[in-house]
Every structure is written in C-alpha cells, then in structure tokens.
C-alpha cells in the first residue's frame, strides 16, 4: 500500500473538520437571527461534524478494508483459482507486494526456499544479488528480466528466474511482482558431462589405443610369422582392450550418477544386507589374492537409498581394499550407528597406507596414489569419484583414515531411515567370514 493511499483518510478528515468549522460559524449566526441561509449552513455543519467524528475513529478492528494485512491483500489480489493454478505448477512461483514482501509462494518453492516465507522480504528469502537487482528494477517500473543463478551447497544447482510485473498500469494488482524459477540443473549437468566425457575419454584412451595400434603394426610386419611373439602381443592387446572397456563403463556410470545427483533417492534399503551382498560378490576375487573378508554381523540398518548405487559404493571400496591390501591379509568391515540419525559402514584394509597430504585428492577423477600399480591391477582411477557422487546424492559422506605401513579405513556415513519395533539396534560380536 503506497504512502499516498495511506494519507487519504487523514486528508479527508482534515477537509471535513475545516468545513465543519465554517458551518459552526453559521450556527452562531442562527442564534442571533441570521435567517434561512444561515439555518441551512447550520444543518450542513452538523452533518459535517458527525462525519468528521466518525472518520476520526479510524477503522474497526474487525474491518477488512483497505488497511488489511498482507495476507488479506494476497487473498484479494490473487483469486482462489489463480492460487490453485500456481500450486499445481512444478516450478517455484513467488508473488511479491509493492514493498518487496512475499505475499504468496507455491508448494514447489518450499523445497527451495523453505516453509513460511510469506510476509518476509524477498531479500531474506532469496539471497541472490542478480535476482534482487531484477526485482528492484521491476518494482521501479522497468521491464521484466530473466536472470540465471546457482546454489553451490549442499549440492550444486542451477536456476533461471523470470521476474516481471503483474497487471496493467492503474489496476489494483499493477504493483505486484511475479518471480518464476526454472531448474536448469539437469541441462547444465548434461552439458558439463558431455564436455568432461570427451576430455577424459580422449586422454585416458590414448595410451591403450597407442599400445594396441603398435602391436597390430608389429604383427603385420616382422613378427607376422613369429608364433611366440604373436601370442605374447595378443595377450597384451587383450589386457589393454579390457582396460578400455572398464574405463568406458566407469565413465558412463559416473556420468549417469552425476546427472541424477541432485535428485535424492526415495526407497528404503537395509545397509547390512547391501554390505554382505557386495562382499559375497567379491568373494572369488578375494580368494584369488588369498584375502579374507570379515563382515561384523549387525541388526537391520535401514537407510533411504538406491540399492544398486549403494551396492556399487561398497563393491568399489571392498575391491580397492583387496587390490591395495596385503596379499594373504584381511579386509574387515564394521557396521553400526552414530547417534540416532546416522548409520555407518567402515571398510578397513591391511595395505601400505596413504600419506596424509594425499588423502583429500583420492576422490578426484583419475587420481591414483600409485599409477603403475593401479593400472597393473585394472584400476581406472574413477572408483572413489563414483563413490563420492553417489554419497552426495544420498546426503552421506565418506571419511578416510590411513596410517602409512598399517593400512587404511574408508567409512561411509548415511542418514538412518525410520525403524520398526521389531528391528534390532544392538550389534552382535559375531563375524561373518568370506
């Protein structure tokens, strides 16, 4: 409500009181025999005095007039059918009053801005300078604007905001501002994934492709009649093509995970069962290296998550523990709860350990502590990057602890889902060996 509109009742009361004063002078004239004209003036003065006294009382407390609260203003300016339409939209929609305060926000905006944003100023709801500048521009009478902005935490998300004025000049709702937000995260991620895939694939595939190409040229040349060389070269070519296949599979898997990272999973799974299934699947690989996998038995640990993705997390961690652990050693997996709202699974190996200064880089794409050993064991350098992005989607985190010469422990923390009355909270001391 602008200043001019608020001052109108005061100005009107002042005018009427002035006229009442003039009429009062007429009443004095009647008292001293002023005639018919003065009698009419006296009646008019009485009416004006009554009106001025009525207006001076101000609006009743229960009145729903022009001085209504912002909530009532929203109800008046946004008919029920309009609000219903806004509520059905998948995109967040916010309507601001002339002062920049939120008078309406649909349900889709609550996941982004939180609940109970109405009556708050837009600067307290959406702290994005580019959007606030566009709102100020439109409130000042400017044309509508489209601005792009991003949220970097807790997960990177990208949006486009369309800010425009509502109604025509002179209409009751002409001072309202509409903000419509459109989520561009999937589009931006897709663009970035394509660029990263081309860059990473071209870099990582160059070496094995060069090796395969060189062996083919050798077999076509002076070694074409050398049976021993042919068998040796074909074996190396098979290893290199297998490495390329694993690399492409991991790149595609990482791309799919990153593309969906901003959409949290909805289902409920048991972390204890997932860890045991992952360990069982890697049993033959552990046996080939004479490694024993010990999984501590634990009651049900329900978490909100995607089963296939969490299986991939623990297969990567257990596989790394087998590859980089001590031959003939053990991989120990502990399960449990951290407080009432989080659960954990810790994978411990007996390997050489990792220097403290290198730990922060372990989840980078293609980063390897020992490049030669990683390639010899079939690693692509993408396993922990995949783990990181899956845990980001699950609102979890990865904690890495390592002591050079003694081994490393990779602990996954995940939000706990609701327990039923039959589910056990206490772990047992038994250990399952594989």
Nearest to 147 by CA among 164, 129, 160: 160
What letter would DSSP give residue 427?
A: P
Residue with tokens 């929609």: 93
Per the CB < 8 A criterion, the answer to whether 410 and 359 are in contact is: no
Give 108's DSSP letter: G
Q: What is the DSSP string of 345-405?
A: EEEE--S----GGGGGGTTSTT--SSHHHHHHTT--S-HHHHHHHHHHHTT-EEEEEEETT
Per-domain residue ranges of the chain: 3-56, 70-183, 186-263, 265-434
Residue 428 has what pLDDT?
39
Q: What is the pLDDT along the chain (434 residues), one digit of tens a residue?
A: 444 444 444 444 454 444 444 444 444 444 444 444 444 444 444 434 443 444 344 444 333 333 333 444 555 667 788 888 888 998 999 999 888 999 999 999 887 888 888 889 999 988 899 999 999 999 888 889 999 998 887 778 899 999 998 865 555 456 789 999 999 988 887 787 777 767 767 777 777 788 888 888 888 888 788 888 888 888 888 888 888 888 888 888 888 888 888 888 988 999 999 999 999 999 998 998 899 999 998 888 999 999 999 999 999 999 999 988 888 889 999 999 988 889 999 999 998 889 888 888 888 887 777 766 666 666 777 889 999 999 999 999 999 999 888 899 999 999 998 654 444 443 433 445 55
In this chain, the answer to whether the domains covering 70-183 and 186-263 adopt an identical fold is no
d(CA 284, CA 290): 10
Query: What pLDDT is attached to residue 51?
Result: 38
pLDDT given at position 45: 46
- Which token pair is 379? 């690693």
**What is the per-residue DSSP string for 122-150?**
HHHH---HHHHHHHHHHHTTPPPEEEEEE
Alpha-carbon span 249 to 201, nearest angstrom: 11
CATH class, domain 186-263, is mainly alpha
CA distances from 141 to 135, 166, 169, 175 (A): 10, 11, 10, 9
Closest CA to 284 of 241, 315, 242, 326: 315
C-alpha–C-alpha distance, residues 184 and 82, integer Å: 25
Identify the CATH class of 70-183.
alpha beta
Q: What class, spelled out in words, does domain 265-434 have in CATH?
A: alpha beta
User: What residues contact 221, with CB distance under 8 A and at least 6 apart?
Assistant: none
């Amino acid at each position: 409500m602008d200043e001019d509109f608020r001052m109108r009742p005061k100005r009107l009361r002042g005018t009427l009181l002035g006229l009442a004063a003039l009429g009062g002078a007429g009443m004095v004239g009647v008292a001293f025999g002023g005639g018919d004209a003065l009698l009419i003036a006296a009646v008019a003065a009485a009416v004006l005095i009554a009106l001025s006294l009525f207006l001076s009382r101000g609006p009743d407390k229960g009145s729903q007039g022009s001085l209504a609260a912002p909530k009532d203003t929203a109800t008046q300016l946004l008919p029920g059918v309009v609000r219903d339409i806004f509520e059905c939209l998948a995109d967040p929609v916010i309507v601001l009053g002339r002062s920049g305060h939120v008078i309406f926000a649909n349900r889709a905006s609550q996941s982004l801005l939180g609940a109970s944003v109405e009556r708050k100023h837009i600067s307290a709801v959406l702290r994005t300078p580019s959007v606030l500048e566009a709102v100020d521009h439109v409130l000042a009478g400017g044309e509508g604007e489209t601005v792009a902005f991003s949220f970097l935490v807790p997960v990177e998300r990208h949006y486009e905001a369309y800010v425009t004025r509502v109604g025509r000049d002179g209409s009751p709702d002409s001072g309202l501002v509409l903000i419509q937000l459109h989520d561009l995260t999937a589009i931006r991620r897709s663009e970035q994934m394509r660029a990263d895939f081309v860059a990473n694939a071209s870099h990582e595939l160059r070496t094995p492709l060069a090796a395969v190409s060189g062996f083919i040229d050798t077999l076509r040349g002076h070694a074409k009649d050398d049976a021993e060389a042919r068998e040796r070269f074909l074996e190396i070519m098979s290893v290199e093509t297998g490495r390329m296949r694993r690399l492409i599979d991991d790149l595609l898997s990482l791309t799919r995970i990153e593309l969906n990272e901003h959409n949290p999973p909805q289902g409920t799974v048991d972390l204890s069962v997932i860890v045991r299934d992952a360990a069982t699947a890697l049993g033959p690989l552990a046996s080939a290296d004479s490694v024993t996998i010990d999984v501590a038995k634990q009651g049900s640990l329900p978490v909100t998550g995607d089963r296939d993705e969490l299986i991939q997390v623990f297969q990567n961690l257990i596989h790394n523990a087998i590859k980089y652990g001590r031959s003939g050693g053990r991989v120990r997996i502990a399960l449990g709860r951290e407080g009432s709202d989080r659960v954990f699974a810790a994978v411990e190996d007996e390997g050489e350990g990792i220097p403290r200064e290198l730990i922060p880089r372990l989840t980078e794409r293609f980063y390897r502590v020992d490049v030669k050993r990683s390639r010899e064991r079939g690693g692509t350098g993408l396993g922990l990057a995949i783990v990181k992005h899956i845990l980001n989607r699950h609102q979890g985190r990865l904690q890495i602890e390592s002591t050079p010469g003694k081994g490393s422990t990779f602990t996954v923390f995940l939000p706990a889902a609701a327990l039923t009355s039959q589910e056990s909270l206490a772990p047992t001391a038994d250990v399952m060996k594989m």
